[in-house]
Amino acid sequence: MHNNQYEQQYKQKVIDFFNSRTSYDNDYTIRRTLPLLELVKLKKGQKVLDIATGTGIIAISVAQIVGSEGKVIGVDFSSGMLKQAQQKIDELGLQNIELIAADAEYIDFDDESFDVIICSTAIVYFTDIPAALRKWYSFLKKGGIVGFSSCSQESCEAPLIIKVCDKHGISLTNINEPTGTPQKCQNLLREAGFKDIQVQSEQFGFYRSVEKAQEWNGGWFHPRENPLLQVSAEQMQELQIEYRQQIEAMATEQGVWYENLTIFTIGRK
Ligand SMILES: C[S@@+](CC[C@H](N)C(=O)[O-])C[C@H]1O[C@@H](n2cnc3c(N)ncnc32)[C@H](O)[C@@H]1O
CA distance linking residue 61 with residue 23, whole number of Å: 19
Cα 33 to averaged position of ligand 1 atoms, centre (Å): 12
Per-residue pLDDT of the chain (269 residues; tens, 9 = 90+): 455 899 999 999 999 999 999 999 999 999 999 999 999 999 999 999 999 999 999 999 999 999 999 999 999 999 999 999 999 999 999 999 999 999 999 999 999 999 999 999 999 999 999 999 999 999 999 999 999 999 999 999 999 999 999 999 999 999 999 999 999 999 999 999 999 999 999 999 999 999 999 999 999 999 999 999 999 999 999 999 999 999 999 999 999 999 999 999 999 99
The helix or strand, by DSSP H or E, that contains position 170, with its residue range, turns out to be none
Q: Return the CA Rg of the chain.
A: 19
Cα 54 to averaged position of ligand 1 atoms, centre (Å): 5
Hey, where are the domains in the chain?
5-153+176-204+260-268
The secondary structure of the chain in percent helix, strand, coil, rounded to multiples of 5, reads: 40, 20, 35
3-class secondary structure, 266: strand
User: Can you tell me which atom of ligand 1 is nearest the CA of 125?
Assistant: 16
CA distance linking residue 72 with residue 62, whole number of Å: 7
The pTM for the full model equals 0.96
Beta bridge partners of 206: 258
Beta bridge partners of 265: 148, 199
The residue whose CB lies within 8 Å of the most ligand 1 atoms, and thus the one to mutate among 36, 77, 99, is: 77
Cα 6 to averaged position of ligand 1 atoms, centre (Å): 19
Neighbours of 230 (CB within 10 A): 8
Q: Residues lining ligand 1, CB < 6 A?
A: 14, 18, 29, 33, 52-54, 57-58, 75-78, 81, 103-105, 120-122, 125-126
**CB within 8 A of 193, min separation 6: which ones?**
134, 137, 269
Specify burial of residue 30 (Cβ count, 10 A radius: 0-12, 13-18, 19+). middle
Q: How many CA atoms lie within 13 A of 183 on its CB side?
A: 0
Q: Where are the alpha helices (DSSP H) in the chain?
A: 5-19, 27-31, 34-40, 57-66, 79-92, 129-139, 158-167, 182-191, 210-213, 233-250
Residues, the chain, total?
A: 269
pLDDT of residue 3: 59
The CATH architecture one would assign to domain 5-153+176-204+260-268 is: 3-Layer(aba) Sandwich (3.40)
Cα 235 to averaged position of ligand 1 atoms, centre (Å): 31
Cα 239 to averaged position of ligand 1 atoms, centre (Å): 28
Q: Considering only CA atoms, which residue is closest to atom 21 of ligand 1? A: 76
Cα 257 to averaged position of ligand 1 atoms, centre (Å): 25
Q: Considering only CA atoms, which residue is closest to atom 4 of ligand 1? A: 54
List C-alpha distances in Å: 2 to 101, 104, 125, 197. Answer: 15, 12, 14, 31
List C-alpha distances in Å: 248 to 158, 217, 252, 255. Answer: 16, 16, 9, 9
Phi (first) and psi of residue 4, to 5 degrees: -160, 170
CA distance linking residue 258 with residue 254, whole number of Å: 11
pLDDT of residue 1: 43
